[in-house]
Amino acid sequence: MTRRTALVAATGAAGVVSLAACSPTTAQSGSTGIGATVTLKLSEIPVGGAVSRTVADQPILVAQPKAGAVVAFSAICTHQGCVVQPTNGEFDCPCHGSRFNESTGDVIQGPARLPLKKLSARVKGDSVTVSV
């Protein structure tokens, strides 16, 4: 008998609800864009660092891993939907300790199992446009 089977058997439907609360949010893994954009200056994003912004009430992260190369991600943690923040070259979730790679959005440390949702980021001159 697995731990999950034992928990469901012991607590009935409440156990199923508790386990579902720990699963990744479907809005992050299957969401399509909302069509909003934000434009910021490339000089606002530190080389080797990132900034937080909000687009149409959606928190985002914009990083510049190398000079002139920009990537953007949803700032919503794929574990339980908390807003992650740029910290020391990575993105950290203050709620449960998940950590994400600032260049790729990949999980460095769980409990999150899925990477941050990647967003479209374009550089033109000194302007960066991010689409959500």
Residue 55 forms beta bridges with which residues? 58
* Containing structural domain, residue 106: 32-131
Asked if the structure places residue 25 within a domain, the reply is no
Asked if the structure places residue 14 within a domain, the reply is no
- Contact between 91 and 116 (Cβ < 8 Å): yes
CA 67 vs. chain centroid, Å, equals: 22
Asked if the structure places residue 94 within a domain, the reply is yes
The b/e string for 52-74 (b: 16+ C-beta within 10 A; e otherwise) is ebebeebbbbbbbbeeeebbbbb
Asked if the structure places residue 105 within a domain, the reply is yes
Residue 49's pLDDT is what? 94
Task: Give me the number of domains the chain comprises.
Answer: 1
Asked if the structure places residue 10 within a domain, the reply is no
| pTM attached to this predicted model | 0.73
Asked if the structure places residue 65 within a domain, the reply is yes
Q: What percent of the chain has pLDDT over 70?
A: 74
CATH code where residue 87 lies: 2.102.10.10
Residue 25's pLDDT is what? 35
Asked if the structure places residue 19 within a domain, the reply is no
User: How far, in Å, CA of 78 to CA of 27, rounded?
Assistant: 9
User: How far, in Å, CA of 102 to CA of 95, rounded?
Assistant: 18
pLDDT tens digits, one per residue of 81-128: 999 999 989 999 999 999 999 999 999 999 999 999 999 999 999 989
Place of tokens 């923040």: 85
Range 47-57 average pLDDT? 93
Asked if the structure places residue 18 within a domain, the reply is no
